[in-house]
Structure 1
Amino acid sequence: MKATLNRGLKLSMAAMLIPSLLIGCTGGANPSGSTAATGDAKKAADPVKLEKVRVSLWDRSNSPSGEKLTDSLLVKWIKENAKKEGLDVEYVTLPRSQESEKNSTWMASGESPDILITYDLNAMFKWAEQGGLWELDTLLDKYGPDIKKLIKPALDSAGTYKGKRYAIPAMRMSTAVGPSMKIRQDWLDKLNMKAPTTLDELYTVLKAFKEKDPGGVGKDNVVPWAIPAINQGMKAFFYGPMWGAGVAMDGPKTEVYMPTGNYTDGVFHSAVDLPEGKAFFAFMNKLYREGLLSKEFVTDVNSQQYQQHYTSGTAGFIDSNNPVWEMTVETRKTVPTATWVTVEPFKRPNGTQLTSLESQFGLLNLIPKSTKNPEAAVKFLNFLAKNVAVVQSGLEGTHYKVDNGVRTVIDPAKNVKEIDWYFNDLNLLTQGYMGPPTKEQILQINAADPKKEEIAKLMDPYYRMFEKYGKSYPVFDTQRKVAEKNGVNITKYLYEKLSKVIIVPNFDQEWDALVAGWEKNGGREYDKEVTENLKSINWKTTNK
């Protein structure tokens, strides 16, 4: 299910057959049987020399069977079929949670893969300004015709700096994707309660989960709201709840997984510099002290405890990227009656309901200057464009079939084992396959699943929520030098301190210390620069 839900109808099936590489022929025959003729014949028989290209690949350590990522089915398919176009592909893995650190190290050392992947626009601006990236306009025109056809809207949206292209962005097939709040409907039903619509109502529901133990797991085992450690690799967030507290997404998307801040009266303030931000974390501190949050979340740096909480059936509320159907399936392995449902955005202090809507582009493909053959890197991305169906859905006839223009999974269990845990990370040019599907399309996509009716019932509200309440965040197109200088330190600092303010007994004192440290790390200068950028793009606040 996870592999198919975010895919699009408008994208036609890419050709699966790859043209054979033409081998150069010799000139006219030499009837004398000379050495030259023999040499020409030998040359024609030699295999083509392959162009090496090293490609970044996130390793999420999520193989269901312990299979090595680089030995997976589709990785092997790509490597074998790329050879037919003269490319020798080597995947270079990096832990997803170490993206920023690893990319910076690679760029500084000159040892980067030929295709570097990131979501960080500012990093692209910085490296382009420093001369660390290849300009791609001419290369894209010459070697990327299929790329340009496939992702034109994304190319029009991002990837340039000072009028020159330095990144090939992946195109989001649907902007109606992202984190969402989920809650155990079976628990609500047992308590005769409705899903919360405000933070205050959330507190009441979490309190009831803890005190009345609707799941029968034992009061000491109930985790009303499951969260992992607050770090770059976290798998659960604060987006929905913080929107509900009145914090908006008026700043640039960052690695701090929460709404960035508010742009009010022409001035941007980061979340930690807002009374709404303080009120939210005071709320979290209250929840923690009353046992309504994961007790040891600070040490759960790999999100293993968090995952155990919801899969074992002890958790009641979560804000995460996990689709509700996927979570329901996982939890039902332990609790057959478990059902997770999407929670609509909370009503904010001003009465509005909002959630973050993704931009038209996502992942950025960069080619560092250390790459000796940038042509081969663009050729590889063009190879992916020609075979985009494979990295969107697997192999036709094996993992999916096409019915009325929609790809439907043949055997969900087979896909879970063979491709679902990694294939989206091989897809460097599109994110998803279709726009937000209708309920009827969800049924068709999951035609082979006996639970298709329930899947549609649970997933349809998720897509409709983004259509109804989604607001885009700002995208800047210029270098931000303060962010380059201080951004990493600010992010690292906030990860450390936000956990502390949640668990300490003296919240106000610790919050004041957090803000003082944020200022010391350049927070005020950061916000001033964001303000200038928002004015330059005539940004209108999402805080309404």
Structure 2
Amino acid sequence: MKKGIALLLTVMMVISILTGCSNKTNTDPAGGEQTDAQSTTGSNTSNDNTASDEVVKLVYVVPGDAPKDLERGLKNVNDKLLADGVGVQIELQYIAWDAWDQKLNIMLSTGEEFDMFHVMNDRVSLANYASRGALADLTDLINQYGSAIKEKNPESAMKSGQVGGKQYGIPAYWVESALNHQASIRTDILKKYNLEVPATFEELTSAYETVMKNWEGNQKPYFPMCGTEQVGGYFFNSDNNYVLYDKIFYVNQDGNVKNYFETDAFKESCNKAHLWYEKGLINPDVLTTTKDQMDNQLNSGDWLVHAGTIGDITGIKKNYPDITTDDFVWLDYDTKTPEIRPYGTRNMQAVPLSSKHPEAAVKFINWLYLNQDNFDLFLYGTEGTDYKKLDDRNYEAITDASSGAAPYSFPTWMIGNINFEYTSAVAPKITNDHLYKLDDTAVEGVASKFTFDGSKLQTQLADVNTIIASNIAPMASGVVDYDSYIEEALKLLKEAGIDDLVAEFSKQLGENQ
């Protein structure tokens, strides 16, 4: 991987905004104030076009808010599903972002009946759900009904949906993952303050100080960060030879597995973050900054550099009307070392054990990946009403004046596939070039086809994550200095069982090779 600046893939205006602080910035639906699930049902047509003479309802549970014209969009999808004889009618049930984890956990633990839900592996891993015995094994069903799923997903993506050799997840192979060591920087801001694109971290720090000192925006352009989500990672360190898994496991290309918090990479990340915190480049209230607050900052345009990608500049244009999709460049301080592809995908769909029709999810996603027409109808909506196609596989959403969004659409980061996706006319060109084109020079990570099964160590996982939130995040966010706090943090992590977790991860990885 490349040295220096990193993506928190973890995160997005694309792709932006999901998964804690991830690289899926600006494509997640906003969480809003809603705390209860919303549901909208599509067509109730029950015509029989399946070999089994049965049409079943597929209840698909996802995070975010429903689009304004969901009923029309799903009716069109369901009509085509019926005409194609799939035997499935889909219903979408939305849960607000701020209630997602809690509500979904209740649904799974109580055995509430539904049929499919979205998994963000960097938020709550597939292995976590599988270890609770909450998921249906889809191995045989995908072999029976999933030919298009297997055709459109590489082995690494399919492996990302496996735990213990069983296929629990249907991958969304929607993005090139080998991008962790880059970040987006605003060239319009640099030009305003007569600054060149920085070529080193030191130059970036100096430029950032100049921007902060002379800033004329509505709010200070603090480095976008959700403090409670931080474990350091790629942005603030120059190690180009590792992947961080589950916010715990450091795996380099030599196959060595380490406690990440004992590595030089973590130390460097903490020290550089603390430097920025002391210089006033990181929000003094970073530990209480929420994901919604970070997303609002990104949408406002009051920022200089973001360790992620931006998927839509429409919000930024409200405060910066002259900005264009050309006003962003990568910060990448090592263009010689190949990027490491850490996984096949982090986004996927899973089927709860409570589903009475687990085959419906497989049939629906297989239909989705059969052809461009099916994909477009579910993801983008109706051409001419919800979107219009442009040249070079580019598209433009036809947005509603009141909401600023298409009347109907579904997030590509959630269930998309790079073989079918269009690039957005309102996304920075660097986003389209890097996220939606496969990197032929990238190399597969040692653990890219492996998913850790922590079912035997649930107590240790829970305790370690508690210590990460309480003792690691303040260091990784730069709020406290590394040297003063690392010894106590490592002591608590070891008492919580991190060595057992590292040993088990290493053991399973070795058995998977």
For Structure 1 versus Structure 2, the TM-score category normalised by the shorter chain is 0.7 to 0.9
The answer to whether the 8 Å contact 1:199/1:245 transfers is no
**Deviation, structure 1 residue 224:** 4.5
Alignment correspondent of 2:31: none
The answer to whether the 8 Å contact 1:226/1:315 transfers is yes
2:171 aligned counterpart, secondary structure: strand
Within the alignment, does 1:245 sit opposite 2:238 as a pair? yes
Alignment correspondent of 2:351: 367
State the alpha-carbon separation in 2 of the partners of residues 193 and 116 from structure 1.
46
Matches within 5 A, 1:197-208: 197-208=199-210
2:243 aligned counterpart, secondary structure: coil
Amino acid at match of 2:288: T
The answer to whether the 8 Å contact 2:249/2:257 transfers is no
Alignment correspondent of 2:361: 377
Alignment correspondent of 2:275: 286
State the alpha-carbon separation in 1 of the partners of residues 72 and 485 from structure 2.
50
Relative to structure 1, is the Cα distance of residues 246 and 420 closer, same or farther in structure 2, using a 3 angstrom cutoff?
farther
Alignment correspondent of 1:334: 319
Alignment correspondent of 2:73: 74
The answer to whether the 8 Å contact 2:390/2:396 transfers is no
Matches within 5 A, 1:324-473: 326-327=312-313, 329-338=314-323, 340-347=327-334, 357=341, 359-386=343-370, 387-400=374-387, 406=393, 408-409=395-396, 411=398, 417-418=405-406, 422-424=410-412, 428=415, 430-434=416-420, 446=425, 456=429, 458-459=430-431, 462=434, 467=439, 470=442, 472-473=444-445
Measured against aligned partners, the alpha-carbon deviations of 1:175-219 in whole angstroms (never above 9, x if no partner) come to: 4667851222123224443223333222222222223x1x4348x
**Deviation, structure 1 residue 527:** 2.0
For normalisation by structure 1, the TM-score amounts to 0.69
Relative to structure 1, is the Cα distance of residues 527 and 469 closer, same or farther in structure 2, using a 3 angstrom cutoff?
farther
State the alpha-carbon separation in 1 of the partners of residues 322 and 129 from structure 2.
51
Relative to structure 1, is the Cα distance of residues 408 and 177 closer, same or farther in structure 2, using a 3 angstrom cutoff?
farther
2:343 aligned counterpart, secondary structure: coil
State the alpha-carbon separation in 1 of the partners of residues 299 and 134 from structure 2.
44
Measured against aligned partners, the alpha-carbon deviations of 1:415-439 in whole angstroms (never above 9, x if no partner) come to: 95225874436x63x334558x9xx
Relative to structure 1, is the Cα distance of residues 241 and 471 closer, same or farther in structure 2, using a 3 angstrom cutoff?
farther
Relative to structure 1, is the Cα distance of residues 466 and 227 closer, same or farther in structure 2, using a 3 angstrom cutoff?
farther
For normalisation by structure 2, the TM-score amounts to 0.72
**Deviation, structure 1 residue 289:** 2.2
Measured against aligned partners, the alpha-carbon deviations of 1:328-366 in whole angstroms (never above 9, x if no partner) come to: x4323212345642333235xxx9656564633443332
The answer to whether the 8 Å contact 2:177/2:344 transfers is yes
Relative to structure 1, is the Cα distance of residues 141 and 229 closer, same or farther in structure 2, using a 3 angstrom cutoff?
same
**Deviation, structure 1 residue 161:** 4.7
2:287 aligned counterpart, secondary structure: helix
Relative to structure 1, is the Cα distance of residues 524 and 142 closer, same or farther in structure 2, using a 3 angstrom cutoff?
closer
Amino acid at match of 1:201: E
The answer to whether the 8 Å contact 2:386/2:397 transfers is yes
Alignment equivalent of 1:524, drawn from 492, 499, 510: 499
Matches within 5 A, 1:3-14: none
The answer to whether the 8 Å contact 1:357/1:471 transfers is yes
Relative to structure 1, is the Cα distance of residues 267 and 55 closer, same or farther in structure 2, using a 3 angstrom cutoff?
same
Matches within 5 A, 1:97-108: 102-108=103-109
State the alpha-carbon separation in 2 of the partners of residues 297 and 505 from structure 1.
12
**Deviation, structure 1 residue 277:** 0.9
Amino acid at match of 1:116: F
Alignment correspondent of 1:274: 263
1:315 aligned counterpart, secondary structure: coil
The answer to whether the 8 Å contact 2:398/2:405 transfers is no
State the alpha-carbon separation in 2 of the partners of residues 407 and 184 from structure 1.
22
Provide the identity percentage.
Answer: 17
State the alpha-carbon separation in 2 of the partners of residues 196 and 413 from structure 1.
39
The answer to whether the 8 Å contact 1:139/1:375 transfers is yes
The answer to whether the 8 Å contact 1:240/1:355 transfers is no
Within the alignment, does 1:53 sit opposite 2:58 as a pair? yes
Amino acid at match of 1:51: V
Q: Which has the larger helix fraction?
A: 1
**Deviation, structure 1 residue 81:** 4.8
Relative to structure 1, is the Cα distance of residues 525 and 138 closer, same or farther in structure 2, using a 3 angstrom cutoff?
closer
Relative to structure 1, is the Cα distance of residues 52 and 353 closer, same or farther in structure 2, using a 3 angstrom cutoff?
same
Measured against aligned partners, the alpha-carbon deviations of 1:430-473 in whole angstroms (never above 9, x if no partner) come to: 334558x9xxxx7xx74xx8xx9xx54x5566459983875544
**Deviation, structure 1 residue 281:** 1.0
Amino acid at match of 1:78: V
State the alpha-carbon separation in 1 of the partners of residues 140 and 438 from structure 2.
37
2:258 aligned counterpart, secondary structure: strand
Alignment correspondent of 2:196: 194
**Deviation, structure 1 residue 273:** 1.4
Within the alignment, does 1:185 sit opposite 2:192 as a pair? no
1:223 aligned counterpart, secondary structure: coil
Amino acid at match of 1:284: A
**Deviation, structure 1 residue 500:** 2.4
Alignment correspondent of 2:305: 317
Relative to structure 1, is the Cα distance of residues 80 and 488 closer, same or farther in structure 2, using a 3 angstrom cutoff?
farther
Amino acid at match of 1:467: D
2:137 aligned counterpart, secondary structure: coil
Alignment equivalent of 2:461, drawn from 477, 487, 490: 487
Deviates more, 1:50-59 or 1:83-92: 83-92
The answer to whether the 8 Å contact 1:313/1:331 transfers is yes
Matches within 5 A, 1:129-278: 132-151=134-153, 153=155, 156-161=158-163, 163-172=165-174, 174-175=176-177, 180-211=182-213, 213=214, 215-217=215-217, 221-231=219-229, 240-242=234-236, 244-246=237-239, 249-252=242-245, 254=246, 256=247, 261-263=250-252, 267-278=256-267
The answer to whether the 8 Å contact 1:183/1:317 transfers is yes
Measured against aligned partners, the alpha-carbon deviations of 1:244-265 in whole angstroms (never above 9, x if no partner) come to: 432754343x2x4xx9535387
Coordinate RMSD, CA, aligned? 4.4
Amino acid at match of 1:185: T
State the alpha-carbon separation in 2 of the partners of residues 423 and 534 from structure 1.
32
**Deviation, structure 1 residue 291:** 1.1
Alignment correspondent of 1:39: none
**Deviation, structure 1 residue 519:** 2.0
Structure of larger gyration radius = 1
State the alpha-carbon separation in 2 of the partners of residues 381 and 465 from structure 1.
22
Amino acid at match of 2:235: P
The answer to whether the 8 Å contact 2:74/2:91 transfers is no
Amino acid at match of 1:333: K
2:60 aligned counterpart, secondary structure: strand
Amino acid at match of 1:331: I
Alignment correspondent of 1:109: 110
Amino acid at match of 2:171: P
State the alpha-carbon separation in 2 of the partners of residues 373 and 396 from structure 1.
31
Relative to structure 1, is the Cα distance of residues 98 and 272 closer, same or farther in structure 2, using a 3 angstrom cutoff?
farther
Amino acid at match of 2:114: P
Measured against aligned partners, the alpha-carbon deviations of 1:96-127 in whole angstroms (never above 9, x if no partner) come to: 56666555443332225211332449954566
The answer to whether the 8 Å contact 1:157/1:361 transfers is no
The answer to whether the 8 Å contact 2:185/2:328 transfers is yes
**Deviation, structure 1 residue 288:** 1.3
Relative to structure 1, is the Cα distance of residues 505 and 20 closer, same or farther in structure 2, using a 3 angstrom cutoff?
closer
State the alpha-carbon separation in 1 of the partners of residues 49 and 107 from structure 2.
36
Alignment correspondent of 2:7: none
The answer to whether the 8 Å contact 2:464/2:497 transfers is yes
**Deviation, structure 1 residue 168:** 2.5
What is the number of equivalent residue pairs in this alignment?
Answer: 459
2:195 aligned counterpart, secondary structure: coil
State the alpha-carbon separation in 1 of the partners of residues 512 and 201 from structure 2.
33
